């Protein structure tokens, strides 16, 4: 069944129908990803890819531009860890994130992600799954450290930005003070009956004679 063809022929007439269709397409996209990865796994085991002359299946994926080998390997790891039925139940992207959870806590992680899918009506994305499992203190330290590194980098950039703003303010203040002194000098010259341009010319002439 081609959902896309159906909605093009008969577009949703209400917001509720539009949201329902959007979620159906979202689920179909995740399921489609799973079917692709299962097919690629069969293709790898079949050996047909060797006819392309690539040294490995990962190289074959790269040379044919099918997908990144890391994306394929992450998916295979999820299927091996949880099984096809469990992966389909929570969504492939969520299952990929769940493989990063320590083995003893994976059942709890799968339960959390199943609850997210039931509540939202769609599988969790990788980002959403990572956020849910992080808040539940189920992600391994490496993932938390990576998040901490990002936050630390953000703090560094904010500090650098603050320093640059301070430098800019100082430059503007110094420029303003210099302009005020120039204006005061020009006022004094005019008061003495000299034009600033004449005074400048006289000063330059004196400098020339001194040289």
66 inside domain:
yes
pTM: 0.61
Q: What is the CA radius of gyration of the chain?
A: 33
Q: What is the pLDDT of residues 86-111, one digit of tens each?
A: 999 999 999 999 999 999 999 999 99
Residue 191, domain extent: 166-210
Six-digit token string for 194: 């000299």
Do both 69 and 125 map to the same domain? yes
Task: List all residues 6 or more positions away from 78 whose beta carbon is below 8 Å from its beta carbon.
Answer: 87, 92, 95, 96, 98, 99
Q: What is the pLDDT of residue 165?
A: 78
145 inside domain:
no
93 inside domain:
yes
Residue 87 has what DSSP assignment? H
Do both 112 and 189 map to the same domain? no
What phi, psi does 140 have (nearest 5°)?
A: -70, 160
Structural domains in the chain (count)? 2
150 inside domain:
no
Sites in the chain below the pLDDT cut of 50: 1, 141-145, 199, 203
């Amino acid at each position: 069944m081609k959902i896309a063809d159906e909605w093009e022929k008969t577009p949703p007439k209400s917001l509720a129908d539009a949201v329902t269709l959007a979620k159906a397409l979202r689920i179909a996209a995740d399921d489609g990803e799973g079917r692709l990865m299962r097919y690629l796994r069969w293709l790898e085991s079949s050996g047909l890819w060797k006819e392309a002359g690539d040294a490995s299946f990962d190289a074959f994926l790269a040379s044919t531009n099918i997908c990144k080998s890391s994306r394929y390997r992450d998916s295979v790891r999820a299927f091996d860890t949880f099984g096809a039925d469990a992966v389909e139940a929570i969504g492939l992207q969520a299952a990929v994130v769940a493989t990063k959870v320590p083995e003893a806590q994976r059942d709890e992680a799968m339960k959390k992600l199943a609850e997210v899918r039931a509540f939202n009506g769609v599988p969790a994305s990788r980002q959403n799954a990572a956020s849910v499992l992080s808040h539940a203190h189920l992600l391994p330290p490496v993932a938390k450290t990576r998040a901490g590194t990002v936050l630390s980098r953000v703090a560094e950039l904010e500090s650098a930005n603050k320093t640059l703003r301070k430098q800019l303010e100082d430059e503007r203040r110094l420029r303003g003070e210099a302009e005020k002194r120039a204006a005061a000098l020009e006022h004094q010259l005019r008061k003495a009956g000299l034009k600033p341009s004449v005074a400048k010319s006289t000063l330059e002439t004196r400098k020339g004679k001194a040289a």
